[in-house]
Amino acid sequence: MAVLEIKDLHVAVAGKEILQGVNLTLRTGEIHAIMGPNGTGKSTLSEAIMGNPKYEVTQGEILLDGQNLLQMAVDERARAGLFLAMQYPAEIPGVTNVNFIRDAVNARREKPMPIREFLQEFDQALATLDMTEKMADRYLNQGFSGGEKKRNEILQMMMIKPKFAILDEIDSGLDIDALKVVARGVNQMRTPAFGALIITHYQRLLNYIVPDYVHVMMGGRIVQHGGPELAQKLEAEGYAGLRDELGLDI
């Protein structure tokens, strides 16, 4: 089992403190969801975990199996087993999707994966995600629709097999069929060797990927913890309802 611990995390962006003391412990075998209104710091948390240098950690710790991630660059964190499916995946012209994924897979292995084995797994993952082989040879995300980009993030995750994946609004811009496909990919990853942090502001995705734990973030802090029922409650009462209930002034 692997453990990702976030302790009293404070993060500033462009000189402004956005995260104000986030505490969260993820274990492999668990799926956690973070819900919260727009602009509350959810993407800031995912960028800080992954090590985007624009997000300055001003206080606190992030540990992966006790190892201090804050001293590690983004690529080292990826090799250590973290994966971030971004809210806005970048387009990278000149690099084909299949080569990008192969390099990412091999970066986490001592010896490169034999090409036949790789392609076999790759084809299976494409099929799970209802993706065509044509997408493999296209340049990374270039000209992909919003939904295709999101599926492609899940494709990368399925191939890379991280210890922990952070999925930042993987549901945004997806129609219901694409949402089910994405959920199928994530659910296929659910094993004792894999943990995920699913960031969303809608409950809908969590009907398809049922989380073990739900956390609500507001104003740069996690203000409530619960199970899947918390997501249902938020859907019914809205963030304003919870804010009133907790007497929060944010």
Would you say the C-alpha torsion 9, 10, 14, 16 has a positive or negative sign? positive
Comparing C-alpha atoms, which of 58, 59, 48, 31 is closest to residue 170? 31
Q: Which of ligand ADP, Mg ion, none lies near 240, with the C-beta cut-off 5 to 8 A by kind?
A: none
Write down the least CB distance from residue 229 to ligand ADP, Å: 22
Given 3-state DSSP classes, what are the helix, strand and coil percentages for the chain, each rounded to the nearest 5? 40, 30, 30
CB-neighbour burial class of residue 14 (10 A; exposed 0-12, middle 13-18, buried 19+): exposed
Nearer to ligand ADP, 192 or 238 (CB): 238
- For position 43 contacting Mg ion by CB under 5 A, the verdict is yes
Compute φ and ψ for 238, nearest 5 degrees.
Answer: 75, 165
Alpha helix segments (H runs only) across the chain: 42-50, 74-80, 97-107, 115-128, 134-137, 146-160, 176-189, 205-208, 228-246
- For position 200 contacting Mg ion by CB under 5 A, the verdict is no
Nearer to ligand ADP, 38 or 71 (CB): 38
Nearer to Mg ion, 2 or 211 (CB): 211
Q: Two tokens at 58?
A: 């001003």
Write down the least CB distance from residue 127 to ligand ADP, Å: 32
Which residues are at the interface with ligand ADP (CB under 6 A)? 13-14, 18, 36, 38-44, 54
Contact set for Mg ion, span 23-42 (CB under 5 A):
38, 42
Nearer to ligand ADP, 2 or 165 (CB): 165
Residue by residue, DSSP assigns 212-227 as SEEEEEETTEEEEEE-
Nearer to Mg ion, 36 or 162 (CB): 36
Nearer to Mg ion, 2 or 231 (CB): 231
With CB under 5 A as the rule, give the number of residues binding Mg ion.
3
Write down the least CB distance from residue 178 to ligand ADP, Å: 21
Is the distance from CB of 83 to CB of 160 less than 8 angstroms?
yes
Cα–Cα dist 161/176, whole Å: 25
- Residue written as token pair 């952070």: 166
Cα–Cα dist 170/163, whole Å: 18
Write down the least CB distance from residue 250 to ligand ADP, Å: 12
Q: Which of ligand ADP, Mg ion, none lies near 156, with the C-beta cut-off 5 to 8 A by kind?
A: none
Cα–Cα dist 177/180, whole Å: 5
Q: Which of Mg ion, ligand ADP, none lies near 13, with the C-beta cut-off 5 to 8 A by kind?
A: ligand ADP
Write down the least CB distance from residue 214 to Mg ion, Å: 17
Write down the least CB distance from residue 16 to ligand ADP, Å: 7
Write down the least CB distance from residue 157 to Mg ion, Å: 18
Interface residues with Mg ion (CB under 5 A)?
38, 42-43
